[in-house]
Amino acid sequence: MVQGCGATKGCVAYIGVSYLSKTQAAGLGEAFLKNAAGKYVQPTAATISAGAAGFIPKTPPNETISMINGPAPDGYPIINYEYAIVNTKQSNAPTAEDIRAFLHWAVHAGQDATTYLDPVDFQPLPSSVVTLSDNQIAKIGA
């Protein structure tokens, strides 16, 4: 997408924040998006975190939620929790344990900003969402 937009005069595209450094290096501009509060914002650490915080009380136990135009007045209007879709009934106990271990790593150690999040401009999951994730992971068995 970055290469295609760079080669197409007048291109308008939505490119995820994880490609921010590449869009900047390609000299592509950035748009401010209007959020539900009527404020025009860019996808920064502060606006993404604010957007996620606005959805914390609305996130159901199964974590299935559309995170568009949330209630945070300073929140970015298009965000999401990264997720994995996994069958809770695995074919055997070792596979179930491996999947649980990997997902536990992703929502705990994988939230390390310096190593994993900062390089792609992601923000850590809110602590209550980590708890919901742990509850979902615990349901995986054989």
Q: What is the pLDDT of residues 43-56, one digit of tens each?
A: 999 999 999 999 99
- The 3-state DSSP class for residue 18 equals helix
- Expressed in angstroms, the distance from the first to the final Cα of the chain is 40
d(CA 55, CA 107): 18
Question: In sequence order, what E strands does 29-132 have?
Answer: 33-34, 40-41
One of 3.40.190.10, 1.20.1260.10, 3.40.50.1400, 3.40.50.1110 is the CATH number of 82-142, namely 3.40.190.10
pTM (two decimals): 0.83
Q: Residue 76, Cβ neighbours under 10 Å: how many?
A: 24
Provide the residue ranges of all domains of the chain, joining segments of one domain with +. 1-31, 34-79, 82-142
Q: What tokens were used for 93?
A: 């106990």
Q: What is the pLDDT of residues 61-101, one digit of tens each?
A: 999 999 999 999 999 999 999 889 999 999 999 999 999 99
